[in-house]
């Protein structure tokens, strides 16, 4: 199903950067990065299908379809190629984008994500969450996920924003993403073929996509570099924006 994504566009003459949010967030999660990149890059932040102000499509929301939505958005904006940065589910979408549209990726940033598919237990947990959100709504998903998304020392403002984003995501948007993630393919074989400059970022306290996953990405993507952010959990861009932004700005200046 064709979807026209809601998005923000900082404009400006710099090289384009697309920031792809995680599950179940929206483009607000990138506000600090948009501010840090302003004047240097044209920053585009989509709301993935079923999230933020974008339309909800019937589930599942496959990673390939989400990547296709991002490609259509770039077409609409007349952007042929961009640096693509995705956090967590946004990283799964970024990997799908590289597989489908390798020539459109100038540089790649994979934050707190992994290449592998879900394990059978992981898939079952996704289906349990589908039942939970349909029965009890997005607030129950926020209650379930918040302790894992951020480290105990995360700033209260980050915690509040994460809750607000989750609670404002439509139930069927959450269902679509859960089912889409559950059936996403393993991208490990793709890694050796990635030919653009690649940065991997990970919070050392990430319990959803632990540091070992990032180390595997870096070991398999030619020339990739790893930046770890000590003491920080899964949503590293919100929990430690200064460290995240400095890694991002530095990498994009060299990429």
Comparison of 42 and 126: residue with beta carbon closer to ligand MLT: 126
Contact 240, 227 (CB under 8 A): no
Candidate list 37, 43, 83, 89; residue touching ligand MLT; CB under 6 A: 89
Q: Does 208 bind ligand MLT (CB under 6 A)?
A: yes
Candidate list 3, 37, 56, 181; residue touching ligand MLT; CB under 6 A: 181
Q: Does 60 bind ligand MLT (CB under 6 A)?
A: no
Contact 89, 61 (CB under 8 A): no
Contact 35, 10 (CB under 8 A): no
Candidate list 7, 23, 244, 251; residue touching ligand MLT; CB under 6 A: 23
Comparison of 81 and 161: residue with beta carbon closer to ligand MLT: 161
Candidate list 8, 29, 88, 214; residue touching ligand MLT; CB under 6 A: 88
Read off the DSSP letter of residue 168.
T
Bridge partners, residue 19, by sequence: 85
Q: Does 111 bind ligand MLT (CB under 6 A)?
A: no
Start-end of H helices in the chain: 31-37, 63-77, 89-100, 120-136, 138-149, 156-167, 171-182, 188-191, 211-220, 236-239, 241-254
Cα-Cα-Cα-Cα dihedral sign, residues 134, 139, 140, 144? positive
Q: Does 22 bind ligand MLT (CB under 6 A)?
A: yes
**How many of the chain's residues bind ligand MLT (CB under 6 A)?**
7
Beta carbon of residue 230, minimum distance to ligand MLT (angstroms, whole number): 20
List contacts with ligand MLT (CB under 6 A): 22-23, 88-89, 181, 208, 234
């Amino acid at each position: 199903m064709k979807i026209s994504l809601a998005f923000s566009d900082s404009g400006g003459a710099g090289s384009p950067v697309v920031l792809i949010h995680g599950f179940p967030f929206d483009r607000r999660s990138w506000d600090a990065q948009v501010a840090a990149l302003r004047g240097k890059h044209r920053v585009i932040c989509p709301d993935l299908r079923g999230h933020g102000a974008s339309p909800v499509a019937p589930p599942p929301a496959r990673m390939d379809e989400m990547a296709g939505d991002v490609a259509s958005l770039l077409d609409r904006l007349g952007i042929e190629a961009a640096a693509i940065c995705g956090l967590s589910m946004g990283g799964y979408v970024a990997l799908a984008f590289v597989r489908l549209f390798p020539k459109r990726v100038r540089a790649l940033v994979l934050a707190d994500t992994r290449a592998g598919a879900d394990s059978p237990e992981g898939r079952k947990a996704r289906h349990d969450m589908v039942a939970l959100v349909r029965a009890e709504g997005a607030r129950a998903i926020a209650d379930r996920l918040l302790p894992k998304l951020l480290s105990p020392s995360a700033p209260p403002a980050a915690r509040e924003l994460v809750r607000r984003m989750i609670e404002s995501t439509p139930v069927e948007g959450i269902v679509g993403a859960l089912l889409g993630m559950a059936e996403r393919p393993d991208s490990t074989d793709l890694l050796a073929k990635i030919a653009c400059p690649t940065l991997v970022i990970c919070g050392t306290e990430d319990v959803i996509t632990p540091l070992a996953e990032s180390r595997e990405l870096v070991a398999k993507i030619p020339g990739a570099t790893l930046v770890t952010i000590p003491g920080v959990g899964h949503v590293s861009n919100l929990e430690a924006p200064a460290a995240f932004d400095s890694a991002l700005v530095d990498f994009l200046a060299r990429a």
